[in-house]
Amino acid sequence: MKNFIFILLCLIFAMSASALSYPDPTSWQKEFEGGEKIFYMYACDWGDYCVCVESGLYYNTDPPENIYNFYYIDDGINVSHSVYFYEGQVYFSDDGMYFAAVSIGTLGLPLENKGSFVTSFYENGRQFKKYTVTDFTDADSSSFNVWPVFLVSEREFDSENNILSITIFDDTIYRFDITTGGIIETIEPEEENIAAQNFANTAVLLMIMIGLMSVVMLITRMNRRNLNRI
């Protein structure tokens, strides 16, 4: 029994660590129009924001000539600042003038992450559209009741048509035009998929509850033993 409790706790803590830890930022770049333009994303130290003032699109000259700097504007506030995105988060139009960023984050308990960004859209390096969790689901949805739940489970990009497809945490598929930020198609999950997801969510929640109850029982037994020794 003790070994089972220990293994279960290790699994729970491992799930927690893997969900919340991200690799350190590294600089990356992407070429456009046969190498005539290059988008640079510079690495930086994490803080309240990962500030990378020089990140943006440049002509591939010597020295590079700036086309635009990359800025992140939170909720339309005019004061801009730069942030870091991993290379796998960002999807560009062929000329580099438009791109979309997709979340790699998770939801958690309590429901304080319901305002987390799911995807955002940029023109000339400036955000013009952002979608958060509350744009896709009710804040009281059962999708929030299991931790961790990844915001985006799958993503696909059609570079020829600038169409970004994402599958979010409730298995709904949304397709966006990255040049407008608009949703052009929504595909609801089939009923059997919803049932399977609800079953999986319930199973994970039960595992967490069993683990917590086991910890309480173990602590209670240890306290009783210590009292008997006194």
158 pLDDT above the threshold of 60: yes
Cβ-based neighbours of 191, under 8 Å, separated by 6 or more: none
pTM greater than 0.85 (yes/no): no
Distance CA 57, CA 226 (A): 66
What pLDDT score was predicted for residue 99? 96
Please give the span between the terminal C-alpha atoms of the chain, in angstroms, as a whole number. Answer: 26
- Which pLDDT value is given to residue 90? 95
**pLDDT interval class at 132 (50, 70, 90):** confident
pLDDT tens sequence across 78-118 = 445 567 788 989 999 999 999 999 988 766 544 455 667 88
Weakest mean pLDDT among 34-38, 178-182, 186-190, 212-216: 212-216
